[in-house]
Amino acid sequence: MLNGGQHRFRDVIASAIGWWAEAGLDTIADEQPRDWLAAPARVARPTEGPAPGVSTPAAAVPAAVIPDSLDALRALLAIGDYAPQSAPPSRRIAPSGTPGAALMIVADMPDADDVSALFTGEAGRLFDAMVAAVGLDRERIYLAPFSPARSAGRIAPDQGEALTAMMRRHVSLAGPKALMVFGDEPARWLFGPEALQNRGGLREFNHDGGTVPAIATFHPRHLRRMPALKASAWADMRLLLGVIGQ
């Protein structure tokens, strides 16, 4: 307690900053300058054009311009404008593992402590154990983030629509035998708003080239906070064993 002198003031401040970082808030202000005292722009109705002098956000990437090769798609995710208000390339995490692997895993977004790849932080050990439980390792899967960059809170609708279209093409080009989706955020975009709540049982994921058996299960970061759910996650993962031939 502060009154007891057991914590220094700077420790309290560091704790508060750490809490916000864990919640996903990793920047103090926008990437671009903003006039915070300016009056808000009037929102145009569907039958109207944008207000004079007001720029509209970039539209989601049309399906027709999404790359049709995996290398080009990965390059777009790494340095291009893959969605409205795309994060700077320095904040993005690229897919890893082996394209064409039997199992493709999609996680929502990088954790705050991920450095060069997904699950290099505190959740990495649990992730490796989950993958090993189905007889695989990082070199024998294909791992991709739904969003290449971490966001504070839920993914905005315009970004979610663009990222969903990109992921459908991504899965089609990677060509896995089965798809595992970690976390509520990508599950609700790829399978519907109640996907994780209605988990249990294989489902078919429709992508640009057809369908692939898929499951949606709990993210390792969630399992670290609620270990009692590990049995449910393992039951989900066992559903894929027959599909990937392990």
Asked if residue 13 belongs to a domain, the reply is no
Radius of gyration (C-alpha) of the chain in whole angstroms: 20
pLDDT value of residue 16: 54
- Which CATH number characterizes residue 196's domain? 3.40.470.10
pTM exceeds 0.75 for this model: no
Structure tokens at 216: 């949606």
Asked if residue 10 belongs to a domain, the reply is no
The boundaries of the domain holding residue 165 are 63-244
pLDDT value of residue 35: 52
Q: Which of 61-75, 99-113, 120-134, 161-175 has the lowest mean pLDDT?
A: 61-75
Asked if residue 159 belongs to a domain, the reply is yes
Instruction: Using alpha carbons only, give the angle 122, 128, 133 rounded to the nearest 5 degrees.
Output: 140
Give the neighbor-by-neighbor strand order of the sheet with 178-182: 96-97, 142-145, 103-107, 178-182, 210-217, 203-207
pLDDT digits (tens, 9 = 90+) for 149-196: 998 778 888 899 999 999 999 999 999 999 999 988 898 899 887 766
Answer for the pair 81, 62: CB distance below 8 angstroms, yes or no.
no
Asked if residue 71 belongs to a domain, the reply is yes
Asked if residue 23 belongs to a domain, the reply is no
pLDDT value of residue 46: 37
Distance (Å, whole) CA 87 – CA 204:
31
Q: Please state the domain count of the chain.
A: 1
pLDDT value of residue 69: 95
Q: Of 243, 246, 232, 242, nearest to 200 (Cα)?
A: 232
Asked if residue 12 belongs to a domain, the reply is no
